[in-house]
Amino acid sequence: MSVTVYIKPDKNTEVNQREVYLSQIADVWCRDKSLEAKCKAIRVMSIVSHREERWVIPGIKLVELIQQVDPRAEVTNLGEQDVIIDYQPKVHQIGKLDWIKTAFVCLIVFFGGAFAIMTFNNDGSVSDIFKDVDKLVVGNPTEPSSEKKSSGVMILEISYSVGLILGVTLFFNHFGKRKVTLDPTPIEVQMRLYEDQVETTVIRNASRKESGVDTQ
What are the pLDDT tens digits along the chain (216 aa)?
Answer: 788 999 999 988 888 888 999 999 999 999 999 999 999 999 999 988 888 888 889 989 999 999 999 998 999 999 888 898 988 887 667 788 888 988 998 898 888 887 787 778 777 777 777 777 777 776 655 444 445 555 556 677 788 788 888 877 777 777 666 766 666 777 888 888 998 898 888 888 887 766 554 544
What is the CATH number for 54?
A: 2.60.480.10
Q: Are residues 118 and 67 in the same domain?
A: no
Sheet with strand 12-15: strands edge to edge: 12-15, 82-87, 53-58
Output the pLDDT for position 187.
Answer: 80
**Ramachandran bin of 74, using left for φ above 0, alpha for ψ from -120 to 50, beta for the remaining angles:** beta
Same-domain status, 56 and 71:
yes
Residue 81 lies in a domain: yes
Model pTM score:
0.56
What is d(CA 43, CA 65) in angstroms, rounded to the nearest whole number? 9
Domain count, the chain: 2
Range of the domain at 105: 93-124
Helix (H, G, I), strand (E, B) or coil at 193: helix
Q: Helix or strand or coil: residue 71? A: coil
Residues 77 and 101 in one domain: no
Residue 139 falls inside a structural domain = no
Which parts of 70-157 are beta strand (E)?
73-77, 82-87
User: Among 71, 101, 124, which residue terminates a domain?
Assistant: 124
